[in-house]
Amino acid sequence: MTTILVSGANGFVGRALCDSLQQHGYNVRGAVRSCDVVLNSQVSRYSVGEINTLTDWSAALAGVDVVIHLAARVHVMNETSGDPLTEFRKTNVQGTEHLARSAAAQGVKRLVFVSSIKVNGESTVLATSKFEKIPPGPPLTKWGTIKSVFSETDEANPQDPYGVSKWEAEQALHRVAKETGLEVVIVRPPLVYGAGVKGNFAQMLKVLTKGIPLPLASVHNLRSLIYIGNFVDALKVCAAHPAAAGRTFLVSDGEDVSTPDLLRQLGAAMGHPARLLPCPPLLLKLAGRLLGRSDQIQRLLGSLRVDSSRIRRELGWQPPFTLKEGLGLTVAS
C-alpha cells in the first residue's frame, strides 16, 4: 500500500485531500503544526511544529512513498512584519527545500508541491473585450507582460511576496531534484472553492444570502476557478502518474466564468437570486482606491484565465465535477 504524507493536513484543501486519499486506499499521514489538531481517525497525525530549516521531519517521513506539500505561509491580511518577503521565504522557500531534502534522504520517491497561479502573475487580459483587445504582441504594463491566458510555458511574473516565495520554492525544488533524484511535481491552482471556503468567495455567499444589491452587472471578465473535488483529484493523479515527474501543471475546472455569471449561478443554487446593478467598472476601481480596497476590487473586475490542457493531455486527467456541480455542492455544504 502506498503511503502518502500530506503537509497542512488540517487546512481547507488538506482535510479534503486526506479524506479522498484514504477513501481510495492510500495509507495517509497528516503533518500538522500543533498536536491539538484533530484529523480523520484513519489519518495518522504527526505534529512537526513550525515549518522552517529546523523542522524535524524524520518520524513523519519514515516509510513514506510520496509527499504532497500543502503547508505554507499564505496571505496575511494585517501584515505586521517590516520585511514580509523574508517571512514568506522562511516557510515557503527554506522550509520547503528542507522538507524536500529530508524526504530525499529518507528514500521518498516523489514530492508534489502545491504552488500558486500567482507565480504566473496577477491577471490576464480579456481578448474579447473591446476595451482590452490584445494588439499584436502582449501589452506591457507596470506589472510587465500581460497574457490573455496563463500557461506553464509563461515566464514567471510574481508580483507580491507570497507569489515570489512560491516561485523561489519551485526553483529550490528543481535543484533538489537534480541533486538527489527526488521526483518533483509542481501544481499551480487558481482560486479553490468548495465546502469550508473562506475569503472573498465566502463573502460573496454571505452577500447573496442577505440579498444585498451589487453594482457588478456591467463587469465583463473571465476567471478560472477549481472546485476542491477537482483539485484533490488532480493532486492524486500527480502523486501517482509516472509521466508527472519533473512537470509543472496549471489546473482549473476548465470553464471560465465572469463575476456576474458566477454570482448568478451561486444565487440560483442558493435560492437567493443575485441582485446586480449596472455601474461603470472605472467608478468601481476609483471607489476601491478611495476605500483602500483596490486589490479586492481588482479580483472582482479583472480576468485571470488558466490553460489546463497540459495535465489533461499528458496525464489524461479530466475534472470529475463541472463548474455547475462544484458550485452547487459548495452551496449545499
Q: Which residues are catalytic?
A: 162
Q: How many CA atoms lie within 13 A of 114 on its CB side?
A: 25
SS3 category, 92: helix
**CA atoms of 199 and 152, how far apart (whole Å):** 26
What distance, in Å, lies between the first and last C-alpha atoms of the chain?
32
Are 147 and 121 spatial neighbours (Cβ–Cβ below 8 Å)?
yes
Q: Which residue has the cell 520585511?
A: 83
Are 112 and 188 spatial neighbours (Cβ–Cβ below 8 Å)?
no
Q: What is the DSSP letter of 47?
A: E
Are 266 and 204 spatial neighbours (Cβ–Cβ below 8 Å)?
yes
Tell me the residue ranges of DSSP E strands in 161-320: 183-188, 191-193, 225-227, 248-250
Tell me the residue ranges of DSSP E strands in the chain: 3-7, 27-32, 44-47, 66-69, 110-114, 140-141, 144-145, 183-188, 191-193, 225-227, 248-250
**CA atoms of 248 and 308, how far apart (whole Å):** 11
**CA atoms of 265 and 263, how far apart (whole Å):** 5
